[in-house]
Amino acid sequence: MRNFKSRQLKSAFVLLFAMLIFSISCPYVGVTAYAEEDQDIRVVFEDDDEIDDDDDDDEDDEDDGEDEDDADDEDDGDGADTKDDNADQGKQPEPSNNSNTTNNSKKSSKSTSRKTHRKVTVEASSKATTYYDKVVPGDDIRITVKIRGHKVKSKKLKFSSSKKSVASVSKDGVITANKKGTAKIKIRSKTNKKDKCTMIVTVADSSVRTLFIGDSRSVDIFSGSESSILGEVHDDIVVCAMNSAKIFFMKDVLKNSDLSDYDTIITWMGANDYGAFNPYKKNYSKLVSSGKKLVLCTVGASGDQYMPPQDLPYFGNGVINSFNSQLKKWAKKKKVDTIPLFEYVQKNVHVDSKDGVHYSPKPNKNIWNYILDNIS
């Protein structure tokens, strides 16, 4: 009996030892332990396939993080989006089999709400070039300044605004459009004050897509004292006009403006070009070829009886009629609309007896209203 119990005890030890050896030689593939708030710790056993899937998910999460960081770098300065990104990073994601799709849809909704900053490159020099830009309220312009072809850091430049309530500018050269109106942004080198330029910033609705260019007679339409009207909006038309303006002024306005902002270009030019229409023809042809709607006003009549004899060959009706004849012939060939301001002035406007060139009274909105009535 004693021997039987001894054998039974030995058998039990052998069986226990065998079970111990088996448990050591056959471990579980993986164990993940996690705790949830107000719950006990749970242990979940996973097989090989599930572990591989988790590794793939980790790689996807890392890629998503890199994409968001890149997007943040591109959108620096937009505080609202930065806050949204930080908030999303702090949230615990809900379990989902379509986590990648969800992440992509979140990115898509963020990208559509981001503000696109306008970038403009200008050249500062002794020529003091003037640039023209139209921007919608709430948007901003990031300026890159070059001097003699080389990019200049903003810390070596001085920026100022003539009307901060309309458009303010930071020390880094970021112009912010605050409300509708026109502001003059001056840019100057701190090391050489001769290196400078100016930006005329027009803050207007995106629906404003017509540009008007003129000389002193156009200035007189809106003011009796100013020497220029640059970037002002009148009846949803951006006006750029200057005393004594010739072809060079029009070329500069067209060259230094973003013409994608405009569908229609109206000009009242030629009074100071002594009958030379060919330079205008070249520029007008480029506008027509680019798809712009072009409207040309004929040069207004002068008062020969009030003009000094020495001025008649340059500003008299003889040279004006020659210019207008060439203009109308070209416009007819190109199917470009014209507005007959020469005839209108002769019949309806008083020529100033002081010089025989300008009109009175100043300002003279009747001329402007006639132009508006003839824009088809």
Which pLDDT tens digits describe the chain residue by residue (376 residues)? 445 455 555 666 656 666 655 555 544 443 333 333 333 333 333 333 333 334 343 433 333 333 333 333 333 333 333 333 333 444 444 434 343 434 444 443 343 334 557 899 999 999 999 999 999 999 999 999 999 999 999 999 999 999 999 999 999 999 999 999 999 999 999 999 999 999 999 999 999 999 999 999 999 999 999 999 999 999 999 999 999 999 999 999 999 999 999 999 999 999 999 999 999 999 999 999 999 999 999 999 999 999 999 999 999 999 999 999 999 999 999 999 999 999 999 999 999 999 999 999 999 999 999 999 999 7
Residue 213: C-alpha distances to residues 147, 183, 287 (Å): 28, 18, 13
Tokens 């007896």 sit on residue: 353
CA 356 to chain centre: 43
For residue 371, give every residue at least 6 positions away whose Cβ sits within 8 Å of its Cβ, in sequence order, or none.
266, 268, 297, 339, 341
Nearest to 131, CA basis, from 142, 122, 141, 118: 122
Q: How far apart are CA 213 and CA 241, in angstroms?
A: 6
